[in-house]
Amino acid sequence: MTAHNTEEVIYQTEEHIATITLNRPERLNTISAVMLDSLVECFTRANEDPEVRAVLLTGTGRAFCAGLDLQAQTGGGGDALIDDSGALTNLDLRNTPPTVIHAMDKPTICVLNGSAAGYGMDMALGCDIRIMAKEAKMAAAFTKRGILPESGGTWLLPRILGWSKAAELIFTGKTLSAAECLEWGIVSHVVPAESVMKEAQKLADEIAANAPLAVQAAKRMMRMGYNEPFPEHVHHVFLQLMALMKTEDIKEGMIAFLEKRDPVFKGR
């Protein structure tokens, strides 16, 4: 196991899995400007590490993430994103966790150990897969605070839920239980809190056992498919397939199939 810890964000890797943990339990893992930079660094590091095949995002304590730390963001000083006039100071929308997560080729799993609200909800939605503790909730309380989902929710929710359900959730600022999140299709699994990390790790291990270059190519194509017509998409998929046909992993996959054994992929 390797670990790289800051006070408020913990980064660990073990057997092809990177785990990024929000570590401000006393503040319900609300996000400060310093944490934004740390998260970007951790996600970028995981995406660039050839040994990492899946990424888990979770939190410590009873919450996953209660959003941006409004006290820190409005308190002035170098940690603030909002000045005394209410204007944004140093927010770089091109280099924030939601945009970096969206651009990642490595599969991401959000492990909702507890509730998510606001920015925390948007960050969870940006991950590929979500596993949620059954006691947790998701609070889309943006319009109740006079703002909108500023970090991806307006793009993600219509695609996840369809227009009508997304509109209902965003316009009303509803808080959904874990059972409702599962029913609406926002999360893939709801499990007891004590099992949520175990279940996420099991899923990550299953993903990591597959050919990593193929998994990453599939994710790239899924992301591109959001915004391109079918004929162009098929062409781009074929280009990805041509590159994969030259890898050692595709040979290993075929040989393992013929030999009736589990493949051992090396990511090359």
Query: How many helices and strands in the chain, by DSSP H and E?
Result: 11, 11
Q: What tens digit of pLDDT does each residue of 147-177 get?
A: 788 788 899 999 999 999 999 999 999 999 9
Each residue of 198-226: pLDDT tens digit?
A: 999 999 999 999 999 999 999 999 999 98
**Residue for token digits 């934004």?**
36
* Whole-model pTM over 0.75: yes
Q: Rounded to whole angstroms, how far apart are CA atoms 207 and 254?
A: 18
Q: For tokens 């959003």, what's the residue? A: 67
Cα 46 to Cα 54: distance, rounded to the nearest angstrom: 8
N-to-C CA span, the chain: 22
**Which candidate, 103, 110, 111, 118, places its Cα nearest to that of 67?**
118
For the domain spanning 2-208, the CATH number is 3.90.226.10
Domain edges within the chain: 2-208, 212-258
**Which pLDDT band holds residue 189 (cuts at 50, 70, 90)?**
very high
